[in-house]
Structure 1
Amino acid sequence: MSTKLDRARLESLAEELMEKQFQRVPKMRELHAGEWIERDYFVRHLVETVLRIRLNNEVDTYALFKVGSKDDSLAAKLAKYLAEEFGHEGMFTRDLEKFGFTAEQLEATDVFPSTKKLMGYLRLEADSRGPAPTTVWDWFVEWYSDRYNQVITDKVAAEFGKDFVRGSQKHLDFDESHDHDELMFRTVSQAVEVFGNTDQAYADLTAFIDLIGDYFGELYEATAVKTELASV
């Protein structure tokens, strides 16, 4: 069983799986193509982004713990990524404040069920498979961001003004300057080679993107669909 990830195959699979979600989830394709945005939808998306970053940092920290002393080079890569990501939710809370969403409202908001499932998956799988599943997820987050987040941010800026996405843009600029996509591919490649295999990695990616589709479905049902019905 292979333990060597093929980057082209991983990216191709991510594209194929995202296309399936675009076909099943309302407005998801238009959002990611920069063709549609809605205020309440985007604000709630920012909220989930902040809350997910916090949870993601916790599961990444746990994954680093599970590396232990088994692979110092891998631990260093994951620690570097963690060090560069801690505190980044503050960039998005700045945009939330611009939209009028308060810190008190943020703390009172619960994450969607799909996010709970995702974080539970990462936490539980780390016990049996170490950091490999978490690094697959982190790689996808960076791949997704490189591919779609600038498009979405530009659409929001066009609709509401650049001042409403200064934090989001700052985060994008940071990731690009620190080459996080490349860092996480090196990290996931090493994690899969040491702690797993490619079949498991592709299965993890499939599960994660299914949950991302579930999330965008929940987001639409909670916000945009209500706005559309109210306007009828």
Structure 2
Amino acid sequence: MLRDEMEKLAAASMERLFEKAPKAREFHDTTWTDRAYYRRHLVETVLRIRLNNEVDAYGLYKVGYQDHRLASTLARYLAEENNHEGMFLKDLAKFGLGKEDVDAIRPFPSTEYLIGYMYHSINIDGPLPTTVWNWLVEWYSDRYNPGITKYAAEVFGEDMVRGSHAHIAYDEAHDHDELMWSTVERAVAGWGDFDTAARHLVNFVDLLRLYFTELHEETVGAKS
């Protein structure tokens, strides 16, 4: 099945990420965290959410009138994800960063590459790339974020992760993993094939590997 193959590919791609990005495996299997690393990770999450909402809107525009069901689902997801950065901003305030501080921080190059890649690939493959990316984000969140957040609560305190817990609970309540998978199936049927979806998935995880490398270098590496 398409989903089984995509999940296997996502897991294998994440394994390659863990092999190459310093401390990424330990961060995800909840055997290590670091205050500066975790805080900067939250910052990039906020910045990426904002940019991703714009990309989703562009992907929705590319659907146009060609698939009203897909357009409706993407519009629903975009509406439900709107302003979710506010949940993480609440946690960042606990770490000493206000909204103005976050606004003044430029995204990592890897995030800028990701967003640029998304716009370029949407121009070629329509909404397919954005559906694959959104599904990967939800798959990643279901698989890793509960553990990462729970461990952060143990290390930094429960009060420091209330926004992150709220975001996890929201995604679970709205079943975003299933919702986004339905868009992948329709986009593959209407705009591409499995090989194209798989290529985008691998490229996205490669950009995440670059992100976690940059994250380590700016925080933990800077202390060395």
Match of residue 183 from structure 2: 187
TM-score scaled to structure 2, two decimals? 0.99
Match of residue 50 from structure 2: 54
**Aligned 1:131-210 pairs, distance under 5 A:** 131-210=127-206
**Aligned 1:38-187 pairs, distance under 5 A:** 38-187=34-183
TM-score scaled to structure 1, two decimals? 0.95
The DSSP-based 3-state class of the residue aligned with 1:165 is: helix
Q: Measure how far apart 1:162 and its partner are.
A: 0.6
Q: Measure how far apart 1:104 and its partner are.
A: 1.9
Distance 1:206 1:95 in 2: 31
Equivalenced residues, count: 224
Mean Cα deviation higher: 61-70 or 104-113: 104-113
Distance 1:76 1:191 in 2: 13
Find 1:19's aligned residue among 7, 15, 22: 15
Match of residue 222 from structure 1: 218
Q: Measure how far apart 1:22 and its partner are.
A: 0.3
Q: Percent identity?
A: 54
Task: Give unmatched runs, 5+ long, in structure 1.
Answer: none
Q: Measure how far apart 1:215 and its partner are.
A: 0.1
Q: Measure how far apart 1:152 and its partner are.
A: 0.4
The DSSP-based 3-state class of the residue aligned with 1:96 is: helix
The DSSP-based 3-state class of the residue aligned with 2:105 is: coil
Q: Measure how far apart 1:180 and its partner are.
A: 0.3
The DSSP-based 3-state class of the residue aligned with 2:189 is: helix
Distance 1:54 1:103 in 2: 13
Distance 2:163 2:62 in 1: 32
Distance 2:199 2:122 in 1: 15
Q: Measure how far apart 1:135 and its partner are.
A: 0.5
Runs of 4+ aligned residues of structure 1 deviating over 4 Å after TM superposition are none
Q: Measure how far apart 1:49 and its partner are.
A: 0.2
* RMSD (CA atoms): 0.8
Q: Measure how far apart 1:105 and its partner are.
A: 1.4
